[in-house]
Amino acid sequence: MPYKETKVEKLYYSIGEVAEMFKVNTSLIRFWEKEFSIIKPHKNKKGNRLFTPKDIENFHLIFHLVKEKGMTLKGAQKKLKENREDTINNFEVVARLKEVRNLLVEIRDNLE
């Protein structure tokens, strides 16, 4: 049986890593942290922000609402407060559809 590496998931991500994931500036990450109460990073003794995977999921939701759907910050805050479950479900559906599309494009490219 071939050796298969298990995917290592980090417990904490630095603000630079989070900004790189979303291809935004660290200042935007700090701003969203202040604007959205669902983002609660841990801070070490130096005061560096350490984001959990749950924070990353919340950033994905915020990024989807603000950058991809074009909502205002107030609109995104309201949406997350009023019907968070619907927002999460919609985001998951969109993410899965993107994965399926990428897979189909890859298959098409391999056939050509």
Instruction: Give residue-wise pLDDT tens across range 48-103.
Output: 999 999 999 889 889 988 888 898 989 888 888 887 777 777 778 878 888 899 99
Could you tell me the fold of the domain covering 13-111?
A: Multidrug-efflux Transporter Regulator; Chain: A; Domain 2 (1.10.1660)
Measured CA to CA in angstroms, residue 59 lies from 31, 45, 84, 105 at distances of: 12, 24, 13, 27
How large is the average pLDDT for residues 7-16? Answer: 82
C-alpha–C-alpha distance, residues 17 and 110, integer Å: 32
- All structural domains of the chain with their residue ranges: 13-111
User: pTM of the full predicted structure?
Assistant: 0.70
Q: What does the pLDDT look like over 73-85, one tens digit per residue?
A: 898 888 888 877 7
Q: Which region holds residue 23: left if phi is over 0, alpha if psi is between -120 and 50, else beta?
A: left
Per-residue pLDDT at 5: 63
